[in-house]
Structure 1
Amino acid sequence: MKSINIVAKHAEFSKQWHPHQIAVVDNMQVLLAKLKDEFVWHAHDNEDELFQVIKGTLYMQFRDRTEVVKEGEIIVVPKGVEHNPMTKNGEVVHVLLFEKLTTAHTGKVQDEKTQTEYPKI
């Protein structure tokens, strides 16, 4: 049991759209990621997903609207809801994600950005 410095952990990697696991809480994982530009439309049939913006501004696209999530804010995407996170103007946004260990990165969608393993840092 040691404290985890989120800013320092974000500094350990540069790859975008590739989450890194920093902790496990019961059957949930805590991930850090750097996001830039647009991801891929997808949904998670059986898992909710929480995004906390550590640095920058995240635009969470839903089919009927876009929610703006600023530094220090969170957004929870309920299971089954199609979404597509994105950033604007080339900004690299740092996020913390909290989700079940069973959550597939892009749900049932396979894309060049899809990751199947998250490095532990």
Structure 2
Amino acid sequence: MEALIASAIGLLAAVGIYLMLRLRTFPVILGLTFLSYAVNLFIFVSGRLAMNAAPIIGGPEPYADPLPQALVLTAIVISFGMTAVIMIMAIGGYLEAGHDRVDLDEDDPEAPK
């Protein structure tokens, strides 16, 4: 099970980094989203999840650590807000420039004018 989760985290991180290196704004936003999913999954798994365990200390039964769960919930809210702000900036850049290229070199002959 650990190998499956580790490979899922690695795949999400690899896809996120690959998409962040593209030259269009939408794949960059998707790449940031995939990378944030990978980090959230990593934080969630690092909390040593326990099945059917309460997040309360005080009894002889095993307990679940509530800190990774709280960190992941906070990270989900922050990444949603970050994605919304980046989308608005990308739409504004597209409306201003007329294209969605990230690389704005003046010497590029393939750049739309």
TM class by smaller structure = under 0.3
Point out which structure has higher relative CO (alpha carbons under 8 A, 6+ apart). Answer: 1
* Structure number having the greater strand percentage: 1
> What is the TM-score of this pair, normalised by structure 1?
0.23
The TM-score with structure 2 as length reference comes to 0.24
